[in-house]
Amino acid sequence: MSAETPPPDVSPADGASPPRRASAGPHRSKASSEAILDAAEALLAEAGYGGFSIEQVARRAGAGKPTIYRWWPSKAALLLDVYARQKLQLDQDDTGALETDLAALIGGLWRFWRETAAGGAFRSIIAEAQSDPAAMAALNGFMAERRHHIAGAFERAARRGELADDIDLDAVIDIISGYAWSRLLTGRIDDDPAAIAHAARQIARGVVRPGWALT
Amino acid sequence: MSAETPPPDVSPADGASPPRRASAGPHRSKASSEAILDAAEALLAEAGYGGFSIEQVARRAGAGKPTIYRWWPSKAALLLDVYARQKLQLDQDDTGALETDLAALIGGLWRFWRETAAGGAFRSIIAEAQSDPAAMAALNGFMAERRHHIAGAFERAARRGELADDIDLDAVIDIISGYAWSRLLTGRIDDDPAAIAHAARQIARGVVRPGWALT
Amino acid sequence: MSAETPPPDVSPADGASPPRRASAGPHRSKASSEAILDAAEALLAEAGYGGFSIEQVARRAGAGKPTIYRWWPSKAALLLDVYARQKLQLDQDDTGALETDLAALIGGLWRFWRETAAGGAFRSIIAEAQSDPAAMAALNGFMAERRHHIAGAFERAARRGELADDIDLDAVIDIISGYAWSRLLTGRIDDDPAAIAHAARQIARGVVRPGWALT
Amino acid sequence: MSAETPPPDVSPADGASPPRRASAGPHRSKASSEAILDAAEALLAEAGYGGFSIEQVARRAGAGKPTIYRWWPSKAALLLDVYARQKLQLDQDDTGALETDLAALIGGLWRFWRETAAGGAFRSIIAEAQSDPAAMAALNGFMAERRHHIAGAFERAARRGELADDIDLDAVIDIISGYAWSRLLTGRIDDDPAAIAHAARQIARGVVRPGWALT
DNA sequence: TATTAATCGAGACGGTACGTCATGTCTTGTA
DNA sequence: TACAAGACATGACGTACCGTCTCGATTAATA
């Protein structure tokens, strides 16, 4: 979403009050789009999904509404970019066992959601998807990406010989994602290592080869 | 939500055009509240969460907006009642094993969501909860209720001696709910017995006593 | 729910700033419509037709835009009411001759246009009519009304025997109106009795019975 | 400058797609300015004053907006040039009497307005002048030009000895112009020789020397 | 039996946000 | 240096809902 040729930005002295960015020619203004994303992120943090409106974002960014609509066709698209801007750095360290890998995965995801604007954005995107088909499509895209993350842990487990033969990876991924989502959506992505460990163990147990020694 | 003593209703409340229900005196008019819930349910079915507004509900019900606001303080409250009106009758038949019990549970829940207005209402409530704390509270209430449903299957399994000793029931319930939710929220509560069976098996396996013979 | 942004206004009902008029039931609020017309009139006087917008009128009146659109479907309709509110009191005194009657008519009309908001409103209506068919229709309605005014002077002249037999009243009325309009539209409705008298004489001469003694 | 009626949006870059005129170097490109005037004229004819915008003109002409603004500082200026491009060729034939000369003048003017883009442009200029002082100035310039046209007929009449001694030529010209304008602005410049003849007779009568034999 | 009080429908109210269009200024890259 | 292209901030457009308010009618329980 929102790909452009970033021209050199010369815009001087932007800061406190809206600096009245002029056009940078027939190219997307990086200063504008960043101001918009910044404003969106801040607004989401302060007012939550309920207080998130294109109107407010424009006001805070010192941008025109048409500029926002030019690049983000919907509220969902803007939220998506806010989410994507947060760099998810899930440490995919190999902990040596699937169970602990899963716990690390969930713990890292929740920390990411908690400590950046991503959690609020993602909740909002899910909410938006319930009325906007485009947001729904984007959401399913996220699912695919998440699948990739989770699958890594399972590949390592498979190499260890840890996995049962007949597991259904799709189902397991839905289970893991669903757990993470539902806790997000009900405001319970607290930092509780014990709870995460319990859930990871339950999930992992359903998947490991019978007789495999759990740590 | 919206508890009252329903007085005897005499109003015919016919279907065709707005029936112009007169006041029923200083009591809540059952005809009105049912017309409102009917309208809300129909609107939700037709226009989805995006097209669901108090304004439209009032228009379709032939009711005044204040009448709605008097009894349902928020959109979420109304959705909640729409949901609650659908009588969930999850057949809690004992299938003889936890795995099949879980599959029956999930399958029954999804069928209920698909075949009534409940699915749309529940999706909407979750969306609403992302901006309305009251809806969030109600949602957590639902979780508690669902916990009760799920716990039944686990009690039967425990009686059979099917469960491992060290399971964390809270985590398992979150896992099952989360799976059901995430499929609802991404529009994938299709009737696919195989997928449900796979998921149920993965979850059950994480929970059963090692060595227990799965059917 | 999405009531999100809380209505910050609790209305201390102070005099200076917009007094937050509440609804007066399912009836049109006279306070509102008068505030709107007042604001429209003031805005027209201050900013002219170019600065006249529904948005500004709403802002100055402390009214919601929908309230304006509820009662005045277009800018032209609002201008029309601003015009109509000015009570035109053309002194239809019989001056004893058509020529002086016409001069009094034109002079009175111009004075009315100059000294009230009517002139600005009328100019605006004419401008609006060039793009809005409804305004054009209203404008032709005005013409009919003006015709009535002018016709009075001609009836008196006819009773005096002052008129030629073969005059075309429609043409004469178009001529008189056109003169008044074109001076309004070019910003020349100054108070110049001599100019008015000259024009009135030219017009009257074309109409009087040959040989009739002009004063 | 009053965008009044929402544009119906005719054609974005219609059929024979923009010819992409290259720059003509540091001189004004005649091809560009003609394309712009052509587009303006066509747009005015199709969409009327309400649909006339610089934006649309630029789009249809395949021109950049700055190019238009460089040469025409305002919408009015562009309209003025559209008007001026139509070559008014009022046949100033001497019909032998003022009355018929005036009828020919008005009839010719209306025909010109009807059959070219001039009528629409002139209506638009008048409308524009109600909010744009520059357009008002230009309008008064037109008046001066029209005065010249009309004065010709009066000079011929004077040579014939047809005119009364004490006529006020300025007033008469205002009267004639006003009549033509008001019919234009109310959409009544139909081809009705009788109506024109009546008006011309009324006006001429007010001007001719008493006793002069009218044809 | 009359009075009172709560509820009903209707819908107007001041607002906020929506998504679109036009304005006039600006910059870029091409010729 | 003029041009096509088009992004930019601004602000008006007309519409949909929000949640609150006031009506006038209707009805049930109280007096």
D12 C-beta less than 7 Å away from strand F: no
Q: Work out the minimum CA distance from A152 to partner chain C, whole angstroms.
A: 39
User: How many C-beta atoms lie closer than 10 Å to residue C7's C-beta?
Assistant: 7
Whether residue B193 has pLDDT greater than 50: yes
| Nearest Cα residue to B207 out of B162, B160, B150, B159 | B162
User: How many C-beta atoms lie closer than 10 Å to residue D200's C-beta?
Assistant: 24
User: How many C-beta atoms lie closer than 10 Å to residue B125's C-beta?
Assistant: 25
- End of a domain among D71, D96, D120? D71
Nucleotide nearest to C2 (CA to C1'): F18
Q: Which nucleotides of E are covered by protein (CB under 7 A)?
A: 5-31
Q: pLDDT digit string (tens) for D151-208?
A: 999 999 999 999 998 899 999 999 999 999 999 999 999 989 999 999 999 999 987 8
Residue A92 pLDDT: 73
D114/D162 same-domain check: yes
| Nearest Cα residue to A53 out of A38, A74, A34, A33 | A74
Q: Give a yes or no: residue A39 inside a domain.
A: yes
Spell out the SS3 assignment of A173-190. Answer: HHHHHHHHHHHHHCCCCC
Q: Give a yes or no: residue A192 inside a domain.
A: yes
Handedness of CA A64, A67, A70, A73 (dihedral sign): negative
Contact C162, C212 (CB under 8 A): yes
Length of chain D: 215
Q: Give a yes or no: residue C2 inside a domain.
A: no
Q: Which amino acid is at D3?
A: A
pLDDT tier for residue D91 given thresholds of 50, 70 and 90? low
Chains that touch C (3 or more CB pairs under 8 A): A, B, D
Arithmetic mean of pLDDT, D37-60: 96
Q: Work out the minimum CA distance from B148 to partner chain C, whole angstroms.
A: 28
B189/B125 same-domain check: yes
- Listing DSSP states for B76-101 in one string gives HHHHHHHHHHS---------SSHHHH
C108/C62 same-domain check: no
Rounded CA–C1' distance between A51 and E14, in angstroms: 19
Indicate the range of A46-55, B18-27, B58-67, C153-162 predicted with least confidence. Answer: B18-27
Rounded CA–C1' distance between A81 and E17, in angstroms: 21
Q: Establish how many alpha carbons lie within 13 A of residue B117's alpha carbon, considering only the half-sphere containing its beta carbon.
A: 26
- With beta carbons under 8 A apart, name residues in chain A contacting C7: none
Q: Work out the minimum CA distance from D63 to partner chain C, whole angstroms.
A: 25
Q: Which amino acid is at D90?
A: L
Q: Which amino acid is at C127?
A: A
C3 C-beta less than 7 Å away from strand F: yes
Whether residue A215 has pLDDT greater than 60: no
Whether residue A5 has pLDDT greater than 50: no
pLDDT tier for residue C12 given thresholds of 50, 70 and 90? very low
Q: Determine, for residues A51 and C4 on separate chains, whether the beta-carbon distance falls below 8 Å.
A: yes
D135/D169 same-domain check: yes
What are the structure tokens assigned to D141, written together?
A: 């310039």
- Listing DSSP states for A3-56 in one string gives ----PPP------SS---PPP-SSS--HHHHHHHHHHHHHHHHHHTTTT--HHH
Arithmetic mean of pLDDT, B76-98: 88
Residue A18 pLDDT: 42
A40/A109 same-domain check: no
| Nearest Cα residue to C71 out of C40, C117, C32, C38 | C32
Whether residue A10 has pLDDT greater than 90: no
DSSP SS3 for B48 = coil
User: How many C-beta atoms lie closer than 10 Å to residue D24's C-beta?
Assistant: 11
List the Cα angle D140/D141/D142 in 5-degree steps: 90
Residue A4 pLDDT: 36
Whether residue C10 has pLDDT greater than 70: no
Indicate the range of B28-37, C32-41, C113-122 predicted with least confidence. Answer: B28-37
Q: pLDDT digit string (tens) for C57-102?
A: 999 999 999 999 999 999 999 999 999 999 777 767 899 999 999 9
What are the structure tokens assigned to D167, written together?
A: 């006529």
D62 C-beta less than 7 Å away from strand F: yes
- With beta carbons under 8 A apart, name residues in chain A contacting B164: 205
Q: Determine, for residues A207 and B210 on separate chains, whether the beta-carbon distance falls below 8 Å.
A: no
Q: How far apart are the first and last CA of chain D?
A: 49
Q: Give a yes or no: residue D211 inside a domain.
A: no
Arithmetic mean of pLDDT, C183-197: 95
Averaged pLDDT of chain D: 85
Contact A135, A73 (CB under 8 A): no
Contact D180, D125 (CB under 8 A): no
Q: Give a yes or no: residue B64 inside a domain.
A: yes
- End of a domain among D45, D71, D97? D71
A55/A135 same-domain check: no
Arithmetic mean of pLDDT, C182-207: 94
Arithmetic mean of pLDDT, A179-196: 95
Q: Which amino acid is at D195?
A: A
**CA–CA gap between residue A65 and residue A58 (Å, rounded):** 6
Domain containing residue C103: 98-205
Query: Helices A193-205 and B169-185 sit at what angle, rounded to 10 degrees?
Result: 80
Residue C21 pLDDT: 84
Whether residue B13 has pLDDT greater than 80: no
A136/A197 same-domain check: yes
pLDDT tier for residue D16 given thresholds of 50, 70 and 90? very low
Where residue A43 sits, what CATH number does that domain have? 1.10.10.60
C125/C53 same-domain check: no
Residues 6+ positions from C77 with CB-CB distance below 8 Å: C134, C138
Q: Determine, for residues C2 and A51 on separate chains, whether the beta-carbon distance falls below 8 Å.
A: no
A60/A114 same-domain check: no
Residue C61 pLDDT: 97
B63/B119 same-domain check: no
* Residue percentage of chain C with pLDDT more than 70: 88
Q: Give a yes or no: residue A55 inside a domain.
A: yes
Whether residue A25 has pLDDT greater than 80: no
B and C: touch, per 3+ CB pairs < 8 A? yes
Q: pLDDT digit string (tens) for B145-191?
A: 889 889 999 999 999 999 998 899 999 999 999 999 999 999 999 98
E6 closest protein residue (CA to C1') = B26
| Nearest Cα residue to C185 out of A77, B201, D124 | D124
C129/C65 same-domain check: no
Q: Give a yes or no: residue D80 inside a domain.
A: no
* Residue percentage of chain D with pLDDT more than 90: 68
Beta bridge partners of D163: D208
Averaged pLDDT of chain A: 87
Where residue B119 sits, what CATH number does that domain have? 1.10.357.10
The greatest distance separating any two alpha carbons of chain A, rounded to the nearest whole angstrom, comes to: 67
The total number of structural domains in chain B stands at 2
Q: Give a yes or no: residue D77 inside a domain.
A: no
C38/C105 same-domain check: no
